[in-house]
Amino acid sequence: MKLSSAITTAFFLIILSGASALAAPQLVVDEPNFSFGTIPQGKKVNHVFAIRNSGDTPLTIQRVRPSCGCTTANASSPVIQPGKSGEIKITFDSTNFFGKVSKTVFIDTNDPKSPAVTLTLTGSITEEIQIAPRQLNLGQTKIGTPKEVTISVTNRGNRPLKLVSAKSPISQVVARIRKDQLKPGESGVIDVTVTPRAEDRMLSGYLFITTDNPQKSEIMVPLYASAVK
């Protein structure tokens, strides 16, 4: 009897041990991809991904990693109990993007089968204000001699655009807006004059264009020039 009881106990211990070994959390994301369609440049996209734990032990959200600084992501809870649900809240800032974009967020968990899951945001961004060129590289510029370049500004939006100002913190850079009111589809020109001083070697900074567009109230145009005698 003692031998039989010992065998029975050992048998149940083996079963329990096997069941314990099989117990694990399981992260499930029914819709890991989200398309935000077409938006104007500068608009922020907010989306919530629903997640759940279909396993039989607690699911731990170890880390949520956006692919770039333009995207923020947060988990509603660091631990999701078996059978329960949670959320990953994502915000994407489209200010510095145009055309088709795809942004990803990685979720690291203690799910042994899928320790890393990818969430994806896709869509298209339209430029309501188009700048050309996107940066000003004047190359070698003679000291004391003004060098002039132009920037084209096109209103791609569906309402009138006002160019409020065009300024640079670099005192050697002067900008003048030829036409400050642009109808939809209309283009305007900004004249930029750079006059290096004798003590200058390299000029590097930005031209700041201010508009009345709430989605794109300020545009930064990089500017470079090297001073020569």
- Asked if residue 121 lies in contact with residue 71, where contact means CB atoms within 8 angstroms, the answer is yes
What residue ranges define each of the domains in the chain, with the CATH number in brackets? 25-126 (2.60.40.10), 129-228 (2.60.40.10)
- Asked if residue 194 lies in contact with residue 141, where contact means CB atoms within 8 angstroms, the answer is yes
What does the pLDDT read at residue 9? Answer: 54
How far is residue 203's CA from residue 117's CA, in Å, rounded to a whole number? 46
What does the pLDDT read at residue 214? Answer: 87
pLDDT < 70: residue spans in the chain: 1-22
What does the pLDDT read at residue 4? Answer: 56
Facing residues of 130 across strands? Answer: 154
Going from the C-alpha of 169 to that of each of 51, 125, 163, 185, 203, the distances in angstroms are 48, 30, 18, 30, 11
3-state helix, strand, coil in the chain (%, to 5): 10, 55, 35
What does the pLDDT read at residue 31? Answer: 96
